[in-house]
Structure formats: C-alpha cells, structure tokens
Amino acid sequence: DVKQEIEGAHQAFQQFKNLAAYNRASILFRVAEQMKKKKEELAKILVSETGKPIRFARSEIDRTIVTYQFSAEEAKRLYGETIPMDAAPGGENRLGMTLREPLGVIAAITPFNFPFNLVAHKVGPAIAAGNTVVLKPAEQTPLSALTIAELFQEAGLPAGALQVVTGYGKTLGDHLIQDDRVKKVTFTGSAQVGKQIKAKVGLKKLTLELG
C-alpha cells in the first residue's frame, strides 16, 4: 500500500506542480470553508478518537481552519529574488536569479495529540507550494486524516495529490521515508523516533518537530 500510494503521489505531482498559485490557494480556502460548515461534525470526530472534551475539540478545529487559511495565503507568495553579483570581481553589472520550485512527494508523519491541526501544519504548506503528500497519521487517530483527505477531494484537489496510509510506524515507516520518490520527510513526534528517522532518510530534506 505504501509503495502504491507513493507512486500515486509521484504521478500526480507531474501535473500538480504546474497548477497555478491561485488554484492551489483556492483549494486550500475551500477546505477551510468546508471545515467551518462542518465544525461540529469534525469536533465530534476528534472527541471520538482522542477523548478530548468537546470544547477543546472545537478549539482545535478553529485553529486548523486558520492554518489552512494561512497556507492558502502563502501559496501566492512563493517567489525567488534577484541578487547583485558584484560582491566579487567580474560580477559587475550581473544579476543572479533564484526560483522556488516544488520538491515532489512529501512524506508527512503526524502524532495523535492534535490530529487535525498538526496534519494541517504539514499538508497545508506542502499543497500551497505545489507538492504532493503521502500522509501517515498516528495509528490512534486515523479518522481525522481520512476526513481531511475527503475534504480536499471535495475542494477540487487533483486525484492522487494527497494520499493517506494508516497503520503502525514500525511497520510502515522505513518503506515510507526511504523510498527514492519521496523528496522530503516531515515528522512530529518523539525525539527517539526523530533520531531514528534522521539516521535513515539519507540526503532527503527533513523537518523534525520533536517533544
């Protein structure tokens, strides 16, 4: 399943990377709007899979909505810069130019404690920047991730751009982070697991948010 989902995300990336910034922003804004309409339903999903009191669940949904709104806004601000090259002899009257381009498939591994918002912290920016995502939520809290995938589908995200694989990290982790088609790994969780991931990912880009 992991290999199939990575391949699906890899194939989807070939088209998704060319989607205009305003299209990516619109998808993320639509996800936020859908979450507003379904706030109570989403909060009850949180209660059922995490045991949070309903008022804390509602608060997390509110924060998640804002996170996707931030991501939508940033989708339109991804640009490079021009750099004067005259700091060294021979660079007079020359300019360097940088461009920001999407990486490709992002492997996102999220914890159980804020399953809607910490997924948003990874999926929102990745989609904003034109990447595709294979998301592995914590085994205790898969329902929120699957629900978000449905909302993205309803919002018009191209097929395959967000894949969700559920299961145990010990079973799935190595297959997910070591695949050559995965260009970045982002993980939120314990320092112990973060060290293990860091030792295994090789030359991929890596973001760790540890306890």
Q: What is the pLDDT of residues 29-83, one digit of tens each?
A: 999 999 999 999 999 999 999 999 999 999 999 999 999 999 999 999 999 999 9
Q: Is 4 helix (H, G, I), strand (E, B) or coil?
A: helix
pLDDT of residue 100: 93
The token pair at 142 is 């898969």
What are the phi and psi torsion angles at 23 (to 5°)? -70, -45
pLDDT of residue 90: 94
Average pLDDT along the chain, 211 residues, taken 10 residues at a time = 96 97 98 98 97 97 98 95 95 95 97 96 98 97 97 97 95 94 97 96 96 85
User: Would you give the DSSP letter of residue 204?
Assistant: S
Q: Which of 202, 199, 168 is nearest to 184 (CA)?
A: 202
DSSP for 9-71, written as a single string: HHHHHHHHTTS-HHHHHHHHHHHHHHHHHTHHHHHHHHHHHH---HHHHHHHHHHHHHHHHHH
Paired residues of 208 in beta bridges: 187
pLDDT of residue 210: 96
Q: Is 164 helix (H, G, I), strand (E, B) or coil?
A: strand
Q: Is 174 helix (H, G, I), strand (E, B) or coil?
A: helix
The token pair at 177 is 């982070």
In this prediction the pTM is 0.94
Q: Which strand ranges, in their side-by-side order, compose the sheet holding 205-210?
A: 162-164, 132-136, 105-109, 182-189, 205-210
pLDDT of residue 211: 85
Q: What's the Cα-to-Cα distance from 138 to each of 93, 117, 145, 180, rounded to whole Å?
A: 53, 13, 9, 23
pLDDT of residue 60: 98
